[in-house]
Amino acid sequence: MKLIKPFLILLLIAISAVTFSQQKYALAIHGGAGNITPQNVPPEVRKAYKAKLEEALMAGEAVLKNGGQALDAVTAAIMVMENSPLFNAGKGAVFTADGTNEMDASIMDGSNLEAGAVAGVSKIKNPILAARAVMEQSPHVLLSGNGADAFAKEKGLDMVDPSYFFTQSRWDSYQREKKRMEKGDKHGTVGCVALDQHGNLAAGTSTGGMTMKMHGRIGDSPIIGAGTYADNNTCAVSCTGHGEYFIRYAVAYDIGALMKYKGMTLQQAANEVVMHKLKSAGGDGGIIAVDHKGNISLVFNTSGMFRGKVTENHEMQVFIF
**By the criterion CB under 8 A, which residues form the site for its own copies?**
108, 113-115, 119-120, 138-148, 150-151, 213-219, 223-226, 229, 243-244, 247-250, 253-254, 257-258, 261-262, 281
Angle at 25 between CA 188 and CA 240, to 5 degrees: 15
Q: Contact at 8 Å (CB) between 307 and 288?
A: yes
Return the closest-CA partner of residue 89 out of 307, 240, 216, 308: 240
Q: Contact at 8 Å (CB) between 60 and 107?
A: no
* Burial per residue of 28-41, b for 16 or more beta-carbon CB atoms within 10 angstroms, e otherwise: bbbbbbbbbeeebb
Query: Shortest gap between Cβ of 28 and its own copies (angstroms)?
Result: 22
Q: Contact at 8 Å (CB) between 104 and 165?
A: no
153 vs 170, which CB is nearer to its own copies? Answer: 153
Cα distance between residue 120 and residue 58, in whole Å: 29
Q: Contact at 8 Å (CB) between 119 and 145?
A: yes
Helix (H) or strand (E) holding 44: helix 43-65
User: What is residue 281's three-state secondary structure?
Assistant: helix
Query: Shortest gap between Cβ of 154 and its own copies (angstroms)?
Result: 10
* Residues in contact with 14: Cβ distance below 8 Å, sequence separation at least 6, in sequence order: none
85 vs 145, which CB is nearer to its own copies? Answer: 145
- Is residue 50 classed exposed, middle or buried when 0-12, 13-18 and 19+ CB atoms within 10 A define those classes? middle
132 vs 307, which CB is nearer to its own copies? Answer: 132
Distances in Å between the alpha carbon of 264 and those of 254, 269, 298?
A: 11, 6, 16
Query: Shortest gap between Cβ of 33 and its own copies (angstroms)?
Result: 19
The DSSP bridge pattern shows strands 142-144 and 114-121 to be: parallel
Please tell me which residue in 96, 100, 167, 189 is annotated as part of the active site: 189
180 vs 277, which CB is nearer to its own copies? Answer: 277
Q: Would you call 37 a catalytic residue per the annotation?
A: no
Query: What are the backbone dihedrals phi and psi of residue 122, each rounded to the nearest 5 degrees, phi first?
Result: -140, 5
154 vs 182, which CB is nearer to its own copies? Answer: 154
* Residues in contact with 22: Cβ distance below 8 Å, sequence separation at least 6, in sequence order: 293, 294
DSSP class of residue 314? S
Catalytic residues: 189
